[in-house]
Amino acid sequence: MKDPRVKQLAEVLVNYSARVKAGDVVLISAAGFEAAPLVKEIYALCLEKGAKYVEYEFALPDITRYFYNGASAEQISYFPEHKLEFMKKVDVFIGLTASDNSMVMARANQANMIAWSKVVRPIQDQRVKHTRWVITRYPTHGAAQEARMSLDEYEDYLFAACCMDWEAESQKQDALKACVDAAGQVRIVASDTDLRFSLKGLPGIKCDGRLNIPDGEVFSAPVRDSVEGYITYNCPTVYQGKEFNNIRLEFERGRIVRASSPGMDEELNRILDTDEGARYIGEFAIGVNPRIRVPMRNILFDEKIFGSIHFTPGQAYDECDNGNRSAVHWDMVKILAGDGELWFDDILIQKDGRFVHEPLLGLNPSE
């Protein structure tokens, strides 16, 4: 029996997020065959909307791992020009991940992973800058296990977080965007965290279901050399197939000068040494999805946790560009619920994960 929520999610992606219209060239890219039910629904809806061409592709991480571990230097350095040429013709990109094992890359050759990410960066840049793109996740047993849930519980959680009235959520985010736009200095204070930086001249950007599903954040970026202090992240993060916990970063004049993670110091610092920009921050964001409340070891969800912030080493977004450039963009999440204060200048914006500033009270979940 079909789960009607799969079609509902497809409608959000096609009609609201990607805004597919007649004449579009659409690429549906799925990592994992388990996403096939959602691919089918998206494909059918795109045809109904009049897209002139709909391409779909499936990739298997287990096969990609062979590439990272077995490819020669020549193979790693080969640029797939045909992929870039096709991406230049694409109007809409819809990316799906059906993760069966988040640790599939845990023992993959990290140097090759970093090198390949640099090689194919032009394709990603073309997609991000020149298509109407959106990415999402499809529920699997593997992802449910990572989230410490049964599959039924995970499906309920995922579909609730994704299938929302995004137009209403967008309107709620207006007040927070206005506060970010007006902010000069930001301070975050919590357990083993005292962080200060400037947002002067950098805008707030709403994330209201257009690019990510689920969505629910307002982001900006710090002035590149303004970050001072230290932060300890309390949300697990999986990056390049490895799980990191309790990452602690110390900053001087914007640069990460010390970085640690229990048992993973070497791996952490190797990633932060990918290039010069990996030790500077490209994004600061506040999570506001009222239906995402606990970590799931899936960054697409965890960065939207209500009552959280993420402070991201690496590449800045074009929409809020502080000048930082890197092959890395690593969203690290700090949950402030029950322990933390967020200040904009001399105004207490959020305390213990709930907004206390009058214009923002409407963002707080009712339950």
pLDDT digits (tens, 9 = 90+) for 175-200: 999 999 999 999 999 999 999 999 99
Question: pLDDT grade, residue 106 (50/70/90)?
Answer: confident
Dist. CA 323–CA 116, nearest whole Å: 23
Cα 331 to its chain centre, rounded Å, is 7
pLDDT exceeds 90 at position 95: yes
What lies within 8 Å, CB to CB, of 160 at 6+ separation is: 291
Q: Residue 274 is encoded by which pair of tokens?
A: 């990918």
The class level of CATH for 4-162 reads: alpha beta
- Using CB atoms within 10 Å of the CB of residue 263, give its burial: 0 to 12 exposed, 13 to 18 middle, 19+ buried: exposed
pLDDT exceeds 80 at position 1: no
Contact 195, 340 (CB under 8 A): no
Dist. CA 81–CA 123, nearest whole Å: 9
β pairing state of 92-97 and 132-137 = parallel
**Mean pLDDT on 118-128:** 94
Report the range of poorest mean pLDDT among 70-79, 93-102, 352-361.
93-102
Q: What is the pLDDT of residue 193?
A: 98
- Using CB atoms within 10 Å of the CB of residue 109, give its burial: 0 to 12 exposed, 13 to 18 middle, 19+ buried: middle
**Mean pLDDT on 230-244:** 92
Of the candidates 134, 137, 97, the residue with the CA atom closest to the CA atom of residue 20? 134
pLDDT digits (tens, 9 = 90+) for 257-312: 999 999 999 999 999 999 999 999 999 999 999 999 988 888 889 999 999 999 99
Dist. CA 56–CA 64, nearest whole Å: 18
Question: What are φ and ψ of residue 292, in 5° steps?
Answer: -115, 115
SS3 state at 45: helix
Q: How high is the mean pLDDT of the chain?
A: 95
Give one DSSP letter per residue of 122-158, joined into a string.
HHHHHHHHHSEEEEEE---HHHHHHTTS-HHHHHHHH
Q: Residue 18 is encoded by which pair of tokens?
A: 């990607």
pLDDT digits (tens, 9 = 90+) for 53-64: 999 999 998 899
Q: What is the pLDDT of residue 114?
A: 87
Q: What is the sign, positive or negative, of the torsion defined by CA atoms of 254, 257, 260, 265? A: positive
pLDDT digits (tens, 9 = 90+) for 127-173: 999 999 999 999 999 889 988 899 999 999 999 999 999 999 999 99
pLDDT digits (tens, 9 = 90+) for 332-366: 999 999 999 999 999 999 999 999 999 999 999 98
Task: Note the helical H segments in the chain.
Answer: 4-11, 36-48, 61-70, 73-77, 81-87, 110-119, 121-130, 141-146, 151-162, 166-182, 265-272, 299-302
pLDDT exceeds 90 at position 201: yes
Count CA atoms closer than 13 A to 122's CA, side-chain side. Answer: 11
Q: How far apart are the first and last CA of the chain?
A: 32
pLDDT exceeds 90 at position 99: no
Please state the pTM of the whole predicted model. 0.83
Q: How many of the other CB atoms lie within 10 Å of CB of 208?
A: 25
β pairing state of 237-239 and 228-232 = unpaired
> What b/e sequence results for 335-363 when a residue is b if at least 16 CB atoms lie within 10 Å of its CB, and e otherwise?
bbbeebbbbbeeeebbeebbbebeebeeb
Question: pLDDT grade, residue 2 (50/70/90)?
Answer: confident
Q: What is the pLDDT of residue 102?
A: 75
Q: What is the pLDDT of residue 107?
A: 86
Q: What is the pLDDT of residue 146?
A: 85
Contact 324, 281 (CB under 8 A): yes
**Domain regions of the chain by residue span:** 4-162, 166-362
SS3 state at 245: coil
pLDDT digits (tens, 9 = 90+) for 8-62: 999 999 999 999 999 999 999 999 999 999 999 999 999 999 999 999 999 998 8
**At 339, which amino acid appears?**
D
Question: pLDDT grade, residue 316 (50/70/90)?
Answer: very high
Q: What is the pLDDT of residue 59?
A: 93
